[in-house]
Chain A
Amino acid sequence: MEFTCSQISKAYVSSNGRVTALQNLDLQAGIHEFLCVVGPSGCGKTTLLKLIAGIQSPSSGSIRFKTTAPKRTPRCAMVFQDHGLFPWMTILDNVAFGLEAQGIPVEERRRKAGRWLQTVGLEPFALHFPHELSGGMRQRAALGRAFLTDAPVLLMDEPFSALDAQTRLLLQTELLHYWAEKRQTVVYVTHDIDEAIMLGDRILIMSRRPGKILKEYRVPLSRPRTLRAAANPDAVALKWKIWKKIQAEVEARD
């Protein structure tokens, strides 16, 4: 196992009183596993990622990691829905930020970030600021910031949901391509069932708040995958099954 969440709960106090975002959630992520988490909006998916990332700590329960990563390397690197690049840094510095946080000297981190930009075709924009780039380009840079850290776990919070449909498909394919090199453990949150099937090894369905894992499905597709995988009859059948499950969950308490 790469990491194990056992019986984690998270409650916080908001203006509407006490909210329980997650309740007694169990989750196990295998090494090199690409996990997709699908669920109705507001079910605590983002909270789950933040707990795994260690930005927040659970109210109860525990998250245990296998600890074999080199000392300075962070355990997790996160990619955010709205790219989360710092508006005051150039694209190059943004991509290099994860390395900067690890204390890697400036020449080395710039060289690595530059190589990434070359790979994703953003080299001409290295010294531009994020707002000068399109959404897809920004997300390619944000992927670089996460990948370059060499963190064994990548946490992705609907990274492509704000992009147009075509750019999203392109980026899904690119993501699988970059991921194939090191096969980090990925927890990928999305509300898009197609995307989950296209990317994941395993799909976890979350319940409405308070969130827990309702059901899990193994994706019956081989790798490497292309866009064609979506047309596979097994994939279509799986999509239908997942949709029925989510529909039941959404309608259950309305």
Chain B
Amino acid sequence: MEDMEENTSRSRSAGLNNRESIAHAGWAERLAPALLVLAGLAAWELAARAGWISTLFFPAPSSIAGTLAAWIVSGELAVNLGATLYRFGAGLAAGGAAGFAFGLVLGLSGRLRRILDPLVSGLYSLPKLALFPLFLIFFGLGDSSRIVLIALAAFFPMLINTMGGVQQINPDYLEIARSYGTSRGLLLRRVVFPGSLPSVLSGLRLAVGTSLMITVAVELINARTGLGAVIWMAWQTLRTEVLYVALLATATLGITSHVLLEFLSRRLIPWQMERGKELPTKAILEI
């Protein structure tokens, strides 16, 4: 037994070394894209100043940075980013929570699932944006029609992934839990919930993506504030610098939510994340 443990600890440390070497390789590799971006920006700046490219399409990075600074100082960026963040956050929270709750119920109840599944599939395949005019009639021109649509966009991926996650739990685990006389509450809390969590988190990832997209889309169509509205206004007035600033802010929003999701996954499903780390697909493919 001791032998075996020694073996395992040795293989553990070997795994660590391996991981470290991958991290080292990643350090140089991570610097490369930054350098590439910097070089690209420098070339762009040069080309714009020399008049090789039209500044209407590609205003010099320095002038975009100037506009960004002005927008930060005037508070316009904060107001519009805030409006977008509010709609996105409220819609995602409401739709995501509802999708999770309904997903759990439908995952657990075969009968409800059989009754509601055709309805869910039908509504899921409907492009949500097409409903926006109807929602404008229902909920008026204010934020509520936008938030309802964003919530709907978050609702379905959460519902479907949560439901699937509950259904896909290996029935062996349910039997094992039952063999120990587990109560229904404990079964939900200790088996069904954590067992479906990886799928719930991929649902959340999808929900974040689609609801951010719908947020920007409804702002493009109908809103006076928000990053989408700024982008549309910038196009109508041909203020390309502003357009780039708003795009930059939108991209930052997307990247930030992705990073937050990664962090959340690491905290909530460490057993899955660890497994992922032990199999660095990139390294395997490069061999």
Contacts and interface: CB of A to CB of B under 8 A. Distances in A.
B1 A121 contact: yes
A84 B180 contact: no
Interface in B173-201: 173, 175-183, 186, 190-191, 194-195, 197
Interface in A99-154: 100-102, 121, 129-134, 136-137, 145, 149
Given A88-B271, A121-B5, A102 B181 contact: yes
A161 interface: no
Contacts of A174: 1
Interface stretch (A6-14, A74-82, A234-242): A74-82
A137 B270 CA distance: 20
A102 to B, nearest CB: 7
Interface in B193-240: 194-195, 197
Interface string A51-84: 0011100000000000000000010111010101
A129 B179 contact: no
Given A88-B271, A121-B2, A129-B270, A149 B176 contact: no
A80 B172 contact: yes
A54 B178 CA distance: 9
A189 to B, nearest CB: 14
Nearest to B5: A121
A82 B271 CA distance: 18
B201 to A, nearest CB: 12
B172 A86 contact: no
A50 interface: yes
A78 B4 contact: no
A3 to B, nearest CB: 15
Contacts of B72: none
Contacts of B29: none
Contact of A136 (B4, B183, B271): B4
Interface of B: 1-2, 4-5, 7-8, 12, 172-173, 175-183, 186, 190-191, 194-195, 197, 269-271, 274-275
Interface of A: 50, 53-55, 74, 76-78, 80, 82, 84, 86-89, 97-98, 100-102, 121, 129-134, 136-137, 145, 149, 167, 170, 174
